A = this chain, B = another copy of it.
């Protein structure tokens, strides 16, 4: 089995997509992350869901659990508003590590090795420089588990 047999369609965002829209996509579809494509439709980055929170949660709350605890419940409920009009560009870590991207003929083992190495439960599949879809950890395990 190859990446082309395992992939599912996947929503992509661009660097200019509003961060709040990216968060909405994650919330609506229960995805482990989003794929960021460039102007040519090629995968540029994979954005884990938790990265969206890094922009929404004030850094003093991320650094110190006690400070996060001091924010009252009403204010805590609306923390996502902090995303404001920021874009996906600002969600990306400054130093992108190895990109979880494979060609459509990658084997199940190659995909698993890449997920293990990058700790990404989501791998983008590309062909001819364009995003075809994604393989998820769940989709992969589902196919490789002995019956």
**Residues of chain A at the chain B interface (Cβ within 8 Å):** 1-2, 23-24, 26-27, 30-32, 48-54, 56-57, 61-63, 65, 68-69, 71, 73, 75-81, 106-110, 112-117, 119-121, 137-138, 141-142, 144-146
Q: How far is the CA of A131 from the CA of B112 in the complex (A)?
A: 30
Q: How far is the CA of A1 from the CA of B75 in the complex (A)?
A: 10
Q: Shortest CB–CB separation between residue A142 and chain B, in angstroms?
A: 5
Q: Shortest CB–CB separation between residue A72 and chain B, in angstroms?
A: 8
Q: Shortest CB–CB separation between residue A134 and chain B, in angstroms?
A: 14
Determine if A117 and B62 form an interchain contact, defined as CB atoms under 8 angstroms apart. yes
Determine if A137 and B53 form an interchain contact, defined as CB atoms under 8 angstroms apart. yes
User: Nearest B residue to A137 by beta-carbon distance?
Assistant: B49
Told that A30-B138, A62-B116, A65-B114 touch, could you supply 4 new A-B pairs with CB distance under 8 A?
Answer: A32-B32, A56-B112, A73-B107, A80-B145
Determine if B116 and A57 form an interchain contact, defined as CB atoms under 8 angstroms apart. yes
Determine if A53 and B116 form an interchain contact, defined as CB atoms under 8 angstroms apart. yes
Q: Report chain B residues within 8 Å CB of A57.
A: 109, 112-113, 116
